[in-house]
Structure 1
Amino acid sequence: MTVPTLTLNDGKTIPQLGFGVFKVDPEETERIVTDALEVGYRHIDTAAVYGNEEGVGRAIAKSGIARDELFVTTKLWNDRHGADESKRALGESLEKLGLDHVDLYLIHWPTPENNNSVETWEAFPSYRDQGLTTSIGVSNFDHRYLPQILDTGIIPAVDQIECHPQFQQIETRPLLTEHDIKVEAWGPLGQGKVDYADTVIGEIASAHGKSWAQTIIRWHLQRGHVVFPKSNNRDRMAQNFDVFDFELTTAEVAAIDGLENGLIVNKSVEPV
């Protein structure tokens, strides 16, 4: 199965369906990512703070998959901001991953308390120019923090933000649309804190003979999001990947859109 790609505002392409390793045990990461690669995922999203870049790297190395068939993302953690420090951090991530470059490097969170996100962001194009990353972007920069990044004139290719049917980033979306910044949806299934089977999603899923999770993933794809469903279970990984043999109607997409109610499910990591 060929995963569709999106063209970023820098002219590069990104696979629309990926596999995330947030909260994946470092000791289990190699096995889990190996399973994901065998299922068919070719887009892996990790971060320095996850502590599992080494496991991702080992799985990639053992897979035998050509580097140009893979899309790998990692992220800069909050305590490594600043021009010099962020370059050292990227070098450390590449060493752990066993790669000479990543396909996408992100600032993981804005750090308003330190007032150095802009300085950090202004250094990111040099990492792209040096071939250390192909594309650059941000994560968790909502409508409060994205404007200062845009004011630099350096436009992120993506913004990886919490996004699911009940929290669709309504306030941030106009900025993203205006600058053709792609949404990368983390927590795309509500992180298990919402029983979507009892919503209109359950009805739509039944109509297509799919699970509610598959239905939400399909909704993300049709809304133009890059999406990272996560599972430690190989069968569930395969189910999450099996979303290209059906299509939601315009009315079904609109019905899921209608579930928006501003519910942030991961308030423990909401930026302040």
Structure 2
Amino acid sequence: MNKRVTVNKLVEMKQNGDKITMLTAYDYITSGLLDELGIDIILVGDSLGMVVLGYETTLPVTMEEMLHHTRAVARAAKRSMVVGDMPFMSYQISPEEALYNAGRFLKEADAQAIKLEGGEEICPMVSKMVEVGIPVMGHLGVTPQSVHQMGGYGVQGREEEAAKKMISDAKALEKTGAFSIVLEKIPSALAKKITKTIGIPTIGIGAGPHCDGQVLVTQDLLGMFEKFVPKFVKQYAKLSDDIRSAISSYIKEVKSGEFPGEEHSF
């Protein structure tokens, strides 16, 4: 059996120029497939609120919902690192509450790390977690939990001051002990500069080709989420069409009596 991907392994991959692959999963079956195929990191993202639970944003997602789905993913993942995404208001109130909730991902859901959004302002929370041995992945750029403050999901870091702050935030997260940082929807040149500036891996989503790794929402990659398709998404399949075709055939065959046939009967 392949060894579990660890924090040290990811840093080694950055140093060796070996690109890191990350995808989302919210259930046992998808997690098992990603793990079997060699995905390095499986993120149980709070994006499950929109992709699985039908919320308009990620803001309503609760700790209990995140733990429920993380448990399912962790049961199937034997090699991939499982990262649990901390939902809105699970870490912003105080370092102590952030530590407690982060610990639940490892203790109750068998995740190997957690992810949280923000820069220097969340470093006290990150510090508490790292002190007790909880691996932390940061997240800069478009941070969906701050959608109302940002005024939408537009590209971040275009202006010089915003870019400087993002570089400063990345350095602060690294200094505080984060092992990796997701860079979402920022200019490619800025992502390249951050990636070269810090010693921990960067994982890009809409951040160009120069990050140490890439992440997508699996349902976007497979063409299953149809409300909108972000510019940074490449659809490697159109499973929604295949699902429609299969279910339509099932309905037709049940109605006509063609299914079940002799080969499906006892």
TM-score, normalisation: structure 1: 0.50
CA-CA distance at 1:90 after TM superposition: 0.7
Determine helix, strand or coil for the equivalent of 1:171: helix
Residue identity matched to 1:124: V
Rounded Cα–Cα distance in structure 1 between residues aligned with 2:21 and 2:130: 23
Looking at structure 1, the residues matched to 137 and 76 of structure 2 have their Cα atoms a distance apart, in angstroms, of 28
**Is 1:38 aligned to residue 36 of structure 2?**
yes
Highest RCO, 1 vs 2 (Cα 8 Å, sep ≥ 6): 1
Residues in 2 aligned to 1:130 and 1:179: alpha-carbon distance in whole angstroms: 23
* Contact preservation (8 Å) 2:126, 2:176: no
Q: Supply the distance in 2 between the matched residues of 1:36 and 1:137 (Cα, whole angstroms).
A: 20
- Secondary structure class of the residue paired with 1:108: coil
Q: Answer yes or no: is the 8 Å Cα contact 2:29–2:76 preserved in 1.
A: no
1:58 corresponds to which residue? 72
1:106-185 equivalent positions in 2, closer than 5 A: 106-110=115-119, 117-118=120-121, 120-133=122-135, 136-141=136-141, 143=163, 144-148=165-169, 150=171, 153-154=175-176, 156-162=178-184, 168-185=187-204
1:87 equivalent among 96, 99, 108:
99
In the TM superposition, residue 228 of structure 1 has moved relative to its aligned partner by: 2.2
Work out whether residues 139 and 184 of structure 2, in 8 Å CA contact, stay in contact via their aligned partners in 1. no
Q: How much has 1:85 moved relative to structure 2?
A: 1.9
| 1:60-110 alpha-carbon deviations (Å, 9 max, x no partner) | 3256x3xxx3312223334221311211221333355x21x524x332245
**In the alignment, residue 58 of structure 1 is paired with which amino acid?**
A
**How far off is 1:34 after superposition?**
2.5
Q: Which residue of 1 aligns with 2:22?
A: 18
Distance, in Å, in 2 between the alignment partners of 1:107 and 1:162 is 13
Structure 1 stretches of 4+ moved >4 Å: 8-11
Point out where structure 2 has 5 or more consecutive residues left out of the alignment. Answer: 49-64, 142-156, 158-162, 224-229, 233-266
Gap regions ≥5 residues in structure 1: 111-116, 189-218, 238-263, 267-272
Aligned-pair distance for 1:155?
5.7
Residues 265 and 15 (structure 1 numbering): CA distance in 2 closer, same or farther, change over 3 Å? closer
Report the equivalent of 1:73.
83
Q: C-alpha separation between the residues in 2 aligned to 1:9 and 1:36?
A: 19
Aligned length: 180
The aligned residue for residue 214 of structure 2 is 227
8 Å contact kept, 2:181–2:202: yes
Q: CA RMSD of the aligned region, Å?
A: 4.2
SS in 1 for 2:181: strand
Q: Deviations over 1:170-223 (max 9, x none)?
A: 2353244222242201257xxxxxxxxxxxxxxxxxxxxxxxxxxxxxx94xx4
C-alpha separation between the residues in 2 aligned to 1:48 and 1:84? 21
Partner of 2:56: none
Asked if 2 retains the 8 angstrom alpha-carbon contact of 1:15 and 1:43, the reply is: no
Q: Residues of 1 paired with 2:220 and 2:183: CA distance?
A: 24
Give the 5 Å matches for 1:179-218: 179-187=198-206
Within the alignment, does 1:7 sit opposite 2:17 as a pair?
no
Aligned residue identity for 1:138: G
Larger Rg: 2
What CA distance in whole angstroms lies between the structure 2 residues aligned with 1:140 and 1:10? 18
Shift in CA distance, 182/49, structure 1 to aligned 2, threshold 3 Å? same
Query: How high is the TM-score relative to the length of structure 2?
Result: 0.51
Deviation at 1:161, TM superposition (A): 1.5
